[in-house]
Amino acid sequence: MHSDDPSPLARPASCTELFTAFTGLALQGFGGVLAVAQRVLCDDKRWLSKGEFLEALALAQVLPGPNVCNLSLMVGDRYFGTRGAFAALAGMMAAPLLIVLAATMLYAQFATHPLVAGALRGMGAIAAGMIIGTALKLAAPLRSSPLGLPTLAALATACFVAVALLRWPLVWVLPALGLLACALAWRRLRTSETPS
């Protein structure tokens, strides 16, 4: 038992409930679904303990694909197998997809209007800042990385220069730098692993 979750966990009754729950949390998630997902899945629905949520999220983050989509797949899969996985994923994506497509169609109608063009330009500037801010936020936990600050900085700088400044294709940059980074991490973990 998890001491932080005294009452027993619940489980979704059906794939329909999975679908509606994920639709509900996705529609609340303006600018980021993760915080909403934690509150709904752990606190409101009680389908996962906080520990289980973190465990699923850790795996979702190392896998390719959107973290929250991977998370929804894992939660759905846990209760109803493949059907549940797709019910949860569909809930996460269906209604928001209709909303963004409708917004884009409106944008196409009014894009030439100077006020709309100005608003979109302003939103674009903010969106760029939000992404850079997210990168800054994610940098904090790296201080405890076994790689050490110089190696971390060198890897991140090399990747940034290759992709943002030199515009090299990711299909070459990611495997090359990724393999190097993982090999370095593997060595550091071996030297730091002393049986206690």
Residues 85-104 that bind another protein (CB under 8 A): 85, 89, 92-93, 95-97, 99-101, 103-104
Q: Are 184 and 147 in contact (CB under 8 A)?
A: yes
- Residue 46 or residue 151: which is nearer to another protein going by CB? 151
Q: Does 9 bind another protein (CB under 8 A)?
A: no
Least spacing, CB of residue 22 vs another protein, in Å: 10
Work out which of 2, 10, 14, 28 binds another protein, going by CB under 8 A: 28
Query: Is residue 130 close enough to count as binding another protein by CB under 8 A?
Result: yes
Give me the sign of the Cα torsion angle 29, 57, 83, 66. positive
> For residue 41, which of 92, 81, 1, 83 has the smallest C-alpha distance?
92
Site residue total, another protein (CB under 8 A): 96
* Residue 10 lies near another protein (rule: CB under 8 A): no
Cα atoms in the 13 Å half-sphere on the side-chain side of 64: 2
d(CA 163, CA 119): 28
Task: Work out which of 2, 11, 54, 124 binds another protein, going by CB under 8 A.
Answer: 124
Q: Whole-number minimum distance, CB 39 to another protein, in Å? A: 14
Task: Determine the Cα–Cα distance for residues 56 and 72; give it in Å rounded to an integer.
Answer: 9
Residue 72: burial class (beta carbons within 10 Å; 0-12, 13-18, 19+):
buried
Smallest distance, another protein to C-beta of residue 143, A: 11
User: By C-beta, is 6 or 169 nearer to another protein?
Assistant: 169
